[in-house]
Amino acid sequence: MHQYLGLATISGSRGVTLVRVWGLWACLWAGSMLGGGVLAAEGEASPNVAFYLGTDAPLDLLQAFDEVIVDPAVFALPSSERYPHTRWAARVEITQKDYQGTPAAWLEKTLAPLWGKGFRDFYLTDKERGGDSVFSAPPSTEDRWLSLALTEVHGEFKDARIFLRNHPPVADAHGDLLAGWVVESIFQPYDALQGWFLTVDPHRLDEQLSQLHHWQEKYPGVPLIDLELAQTYDRESQQALARKSAQAGLIPYVTSPDENIVGIGKLRVMPRKILVVQSLDPGTAIEEGTGSKILSLPLDYLGYDVRYVNVNEGLPEDITPDRYAGIAVFLDKDVADQDKWRLWFLKEVHRHVPVAVFDRFGFDIDIETAQVLDLKVLPSGYLPGATARILHTAPMIGFEHAPQVEIQDAVGLAIGPTGQSLAQIQVGDTIMDMAATLPWGGYALAPFSLEYVGELNRNYWVIDPLKFLRQSLSLPAMPVPDTTSENGRRLFFVQVDGDGFPSRAEFPGYDYGADALYDQIFKKYPIPMTVSVVEGEIGPTGKYPALSPRLESIARKIFALPNIEIGSHTYSHPLDWILADPKYGQQKEQLSMQIPGYTFDLKREIEGSIEYINGRLAPPGKKVRVLQWSGAANPTAAALEEAWKAGVYNINGGDTLPVKPDGSWTDISGAGIAKGKGDQNYQIYAAEMNENIYTNDWTRPFYGMVRVLETYEITEFPLRIKPVDIYFHFYSGTKLASLKALQNVYDVTLKQPVFPVYTSDFIQKVLDARHASVALQEGQWQIRTGRSLREFRLPVGEIPDLTHSSGVVGYLSVPGGTYVHLGDDQASVSLLPVNHPADPLPYVSAATAYITHFKRQGRGIRFDARGYYQPYVLLSHADHACGFKVDGREVQSTEDGKGRLKVSFPPSVGEQGPVHDIEVHCHD
């Protein structure tokens, strides 16, 4: 039976972490920009500062810090819209030649160009090393030059903020001009020439700390940052070193000698990427691999952004434990170069990147490899007639299908003393471990990973993928971004592909099915919907020019409805985007709608169709927002980039279609797939499949769309793993059976606790989830998201401590965990056990509205709210003695039957509808 279906830091030469101190901290920062140099007042939390001097900076992780010191030679300032809470300081190395000139000349040559590039924060350093030299005296020539330079900087660039590395005489004399002082290797000196870490002299350490504490007393508001170096891949040693520095009263940042990792300070950023390794024939699309089909959903649910690689097309070198939470391996076929694959695998184990292996390792495990992995290689070969039997399985085995083992499945491996067996079999006198977890990760070999059931043509999970991934990759129990919900309510969106727009209605009252949909769906249900057309079907240059005037008139009135968002379904409806790519050399005219005189052109399909819709069909004030992929919905990276350049989002693809009674998690896709770097190469999948699938390729039964309700139920209970997506084509309006089935789906869905949104709203949340940062600081979770994502999910048994959290609107506990609702793009979340005595503060338990500008004062709260359809908020820990106002007017609340009060307000029709001011005042 299926258990889930129910059937630190500033950056410069070195690194430092700054803790968020919003409010007063922001004011103090602003003061420092005017020359005061003060970052945090006495008693305030210190900023989190990081140092990152490498190329290809992991911005999504570094944004967790308040200040990041970077190398401007290889770093371009990112968008402040994407990363609004992080400042970037340019590392400026002062040379002996600079010291020989005047500070004014140096300013003009070095700082002025960086100022022109947008930098306002600067980290001054030279080749002087840290350690004992930190307290060298008396002041040197360089010290005197730096003192003049600091004064010169603040005279020329009023808003400049300066971080200084070492030079204690300068810091001692001019600490009031600094945004922060950086000292190095106080607890673990490093010999850069030899590459050795040295042992610090205890007496010298005491002396250094005494002098540093004296400096802190003199300049209590200026951050003192201890930049420590440690082994690149040893995260535990880095954590221990950071803890030691923090306990001494310093702001620690521990990084690698090359300063090219995301280090650790008081803040430890959780890596949120996982690499999935597959074995495919060269040239095969990455989405065709079993790993990308079945691992995307569990990894999405666990809160990770997935990168896919084909082992037969090369392996990446940038998989490090600061950036990647782990590696998942699912090999469909033999690896071309097994020796190279084994060496790469062992290198990642040496780097302390956890690895989870499904089905097979992909290389022969020799004695040396076995020793590294704490495995024992057992004798191979069995007597005739030998059989295999299962001795033991862990509870996570048998998730969707019970294991069935044959003699040919036996793999001669046993775990060593550090391992934990998940599945043991016996062949003769030999006992083998077919699934296990070990310090480096874990494995689940066939048939203890998946089981293919031929009569159903479907794979089923034998091992619970969530439990196995959590345990083998040692994934932390952290808040995870959730794209299925907003304020506890399940997201619900509608997307309509343009296929069949010219098709005639087969029942009285309408000439075209599109007109029937206008009356019976688009007007009848005043909820957000995203509707697209195929230009080649309805435009004057398309396949049916004689019908174009009538068809365009229907499209115009659909797009004019206030609840309709406009999409494009391309020009000629390509059937296979990969084969249509010129590099495959196919006959492109056979891969799309036959339009006289037209051959496939990527720009015409995307940009051209968008320009046509915007110019001829869209009403004033509306434009195309979404490109909905056609045919196999398998766009290449080039096609994705074309849509991005056209300024629209993209959606379609994936294969989410589980139905009763045989549904499986392997039938459910994740939120999307990365086909390159950046959002411009990310394909968003449809949340569920369309009526073409439920009607057996539009053959019958034509009412088959009602079965999508089974899919909605399966993806909601017992775990909510997908939003609701009513996804259909215009040809559903041609038959009475399909139209009534569609109305039934709408009626049933709108009776559920859903939050209707536009397709573009959902897409933006998925993209934000890829970039969100989650970090742990002294027991409190620090979250930074983008402009759209506002929902995170806590593990089962935990709730937010509203008294000691900030940026939290409320929460809702469900069987799969606790949804935490954020009121802005950042939050600090402290946790409590779910059975902890109730916090008396009122909070939003659930809402079918976007909530912004949330403020709490005592037991009163105030916020802005906007919802598209019958919006409301449900309030917990509020009673009828509380006062409620909407837009300044007193309103009455109602009981929801669960001890919560419901406050309703008018909907915001369209994408730019009004925002309502909600006030709740409760007595202390």
Tokens 């990310």 belong to 682
Q: Over 70: is that where the pLDDT of 13 sits?
A: no
CA dist 2 and 894 (Å) reads 39
pLDDT at residue 38 is higher than 90: no
- State how far the alpha carbon of 890 is from the alpha carbons of 24, 877, 905, 907, 914, in Å: 34, 19, 12, 18, 19
What average pLDDT is seen over the chain?
92
12 pLDDT above the threshold of 90: no
Q: What is the pLDDT of residue 584?
A: 58
Q: Give the pLDDT mean for 827-834.
A: 96
pLDDT at 912 over 90: no
Position 43 scores a pLDDT of 39
Predicted confidence at residue 145, as pLDDT, reads: 95
DSSP annotation of 807 reads: S
Confidence of residue 681 (pLDDT cuts 50, 70, 90): very high
Cα gap 513→523, rounded to integer Å: 14
Residue 132: pLDDT over 90: no
- Percentage of the chain beyond pLDDT 70 is 93
Determine the average pLDDT of the residues in 819-842: 93
DSSP percent split of the chain into helix, strand, coil, nearest 5: 30, 25, 45
Confidence band of 406 (pLDDT split at 50, 70, 90): very high
pLDDT at 487: 98
- 3-class DSSP state for residue 14? coil
pLDDT at 137: 63
pLDDT value of residue 32: 32
Question: What is the per-residue pLDDT for 782?
Answer: 98
Q: What is the pLDDT of residue 380?
A: 75
Among 539, 487, 527, which Cα is nearest to 847's? Answer: 487
Taking the C-alpha atoms of residue 255 and residue 233, their distance in angstroms, rounded to an integer, is: 10
β-strands 420-427, 430-438: how paired? antiparallel
The arithmetic mean of pLDDT across residues 594-613, rounded, is: 95
Give kind and range of the element (H or E) at residue 285. Answer: none
**pLDDT at 174 exceeding the cut of 50:** yes
Structural element, H or E, at residue 754 = strand 754-756
Pick 850 or 1 by higher pLDDT. 850
pLDDT value of position 127: 75
- Percent of the chain's residues with pLDDT above 90: 88
Which of 354-363, 424-433, 587-596, 629-638 bottoms out in mean pLDDT, i.e. has the lowest?
587-596
Structure tokens at 881: 């003695």
What is the mean predicted confidence (pLDDT) over 582-594?
64
pLDDT at 260 over 50: yes
3-state secondary structure of 770: helix
In this predicted model, what pLDDT tens digit does every residue of 294-334 receive, in sequence order?
Answer: 999 999 999 999 999 999 999 999 999 999 999 999 998 99
| Residue partners of 900: CB distance under 8 A and separation at least 6 | 845, 846, 874, 875, 876, 878
Residue 77 and residue 62: Cα distance in Å, rounded? 13
pLDDT at 22 over 80: no
pLDDT in tens, 332-368: 899 999 999 999 999 999 999 999 999 999 999 999 9
Instruction: Over range 675-682, report the average pLDDT.
Output: 96
Does the pLDDT value for residue 15 go beyond 50? no
Q: What is the pLDDT of residue 751?
A: 98
Instruction: For 197-241, write each residue's pLDDT tens digit.
Output: 999 999 999 999 999 999 999 999 999 999 999 999 999 999 999
Nearest by Cα to 530 from 673, 646, 648: 648
The CA R_g of the chain, rounded to the nearest whole Å, is 30
pLDDT at 440: 98
180 CB burial (10 A radius; 0-12, 13-18, 19+): buried
**Tell me, what's the pLDDT at 46?**
87
* Residues constituting the chain: 924
pLDDT at 718 over 70: yes
Segment 482-501 shows an average pLDDT of 98
pLDDT at position 546 is 98
**CA atoms of 746 and 726, how far apart (whole Å):** 8
